[in-house]
Amino acid sequence: MAAKWIEALTGSLEQKKQYKQSMARIEALPEPYRSSAKAFNRYFMYYGGITDGDALTTMIVDHADLWERAAVDATPVRAIVGEDPVEFAETFAQAYSATRWIDKERARLTKAIDAAAGGEGTGPDA
């Protein structure tokens, strides 16, 4: 009973466990994979803004899998991320579609402007 109450406030304990395990896996990677994976994880936290714990956990676990496989295969970092690491990171994160914090703010902004505009119409000739 207490565990469910705590999880309701703080999020899934299982997700936290999976996240910590994935981060430990990344720490265990050889260079340059470790520093690359850590840099992407840092970027994901700023860019992604994912509010769904399941989607975030899945993304981080898959990301650790990617870098572990690359290390085993000795795949060059640029062969994974290409010439634009930002594009790679944003494309990777978008694959884990979930509600992001900005989605809520976009809806709030739209609703506020719709309410403020009232009956003004929607087009330039309205």
Contact in structure between 49 and 68 (CB atoms under 8 Å): no
19 located within any domain:
yes
Pairwise pLDDT comparison (33 vs 45), residue with the higher score: 33
66-87: pLDDT as tens digits: 999 999 999 999 999 999 999 9
Contact in structure between 36 and 77 (CB atoms under 8 Å): yes
CB-CB neighbours of 53 under 10 Å: 17
57 located within any domain:
yes
The CATH number assigned to the domain holding 36 equals 1.10.1900.10
123 located within any domain:
no
6 located within any domain:
no
5 located within any domain:
no
104 located within any domain:
yes
Range of the domain at 70: 11-117
Highest mean pLDDT, choosing among 1-5, 42-46, 51-55, 102-106: 42-46
Q: How far apart are CA 91 and CA 79, in angstroms?
A: 15
Number of structural domains (the chain) is 1
14-37: pLDDT as tens digits: 888 999 999 999 999 999 999 999
101 located within any domain:
yes
